[in-house]
Structure 1
Amino acid sequence: MPTAKNLNELFYATLQDIYHGEKQILKALPRMAKHATTPELKKAFQLHVDQTEGQVERLQQVFEMLDKSARGKTCEAIEGLVEEGKEVMSETEPGEVMDAGLIAAAQAVEHYEIARYGTLCAWAQQLGMPEAAKLLQQTLKEEKETDALLNKMAMGGINRSAA
């Protein structure tokens, strides 16, 4: 967690953290789509690129509400999770096994984002920023939907095929 003296500073620092994280995710998703072999997983990763671009735009709006420039601060958690995804792509057998690994890597990222956006929503409300909370809540909803979709694909056959 970033260092801060009060909730406003913590909120801003966490926004910078997730902003950097979303930018890293935007770089990773096309590569994951390229390595996915299941058409539905490829499509899900490609669609999530567009969704993540919208999430970055919403974060930029929140930065504007704070009268701050949209600037990221290194998110080591996301960088580590993206690195794990790269390991899956380089060290896993192509096909269903890689798809299962890619889903697991993507869900780890989604779970981190769900935790961060849930916290940011609560803090925005506490800080009297209902518009920011609304934007962050929209992203939180999308992250939960993406996680549910990935889980459905995994449980719907990809994990079974990988076995």
Structure 2
Amino acid sequence: MTLQLDLQIAAAAAGLPGATDIGHWAEAALAGAAFTDPAEMTVRIVDEAESAELNVAYRGKHGPTNVLSFPFDAPAGVELEPELLGDLVICAPVVAREAVEQGKATAAHWAHMVVHGTLHLLGYDHEVEAEAEAMERLETGILRGLGFPDPYGDDEPR
């Protein structure tokens, strides 16, 4: 599997992960979900204002959020090579704040947001409890494979 990553940085924040780390985390998510085709995706790192604007426009929710996923849905009969997965928009200040509030290493929380968002691009969701549990198990396994602890704070393997 080959991933073509377009990284856009639209936030002035220190300590942001680079394209190498983000690509590695996204590739791990794709592999964990058994996605093996060549793929392309965009990750845009934004500030709170842009996150809040997108959150209200696309989800009807006010305020910034940690990660927004915008899966690409090709028109019928159109096949792209590599497959265009879509876009992730990650809010740097929210991720940094959540890492502190949750007592997590910043890199671990960034990795979780990339893995979580990438799985959303592949169609995983957590609106229904059974789907949420399956997605959380997958995320936990992927992140453990990357050397990060369970993002949900459980000591027991999922």
Higher relative contact order (CA 8 A, sep 6+): 1
Normalised by the size of structure 2, how large is the TM-score? 0.30
Larger Rg: 1
Q: Which is richer in strand?
A: 2
- Name the TM-score, length of structure 1 as normaliser: 0.29
1 or 2, which has the higher helix percentage? 1
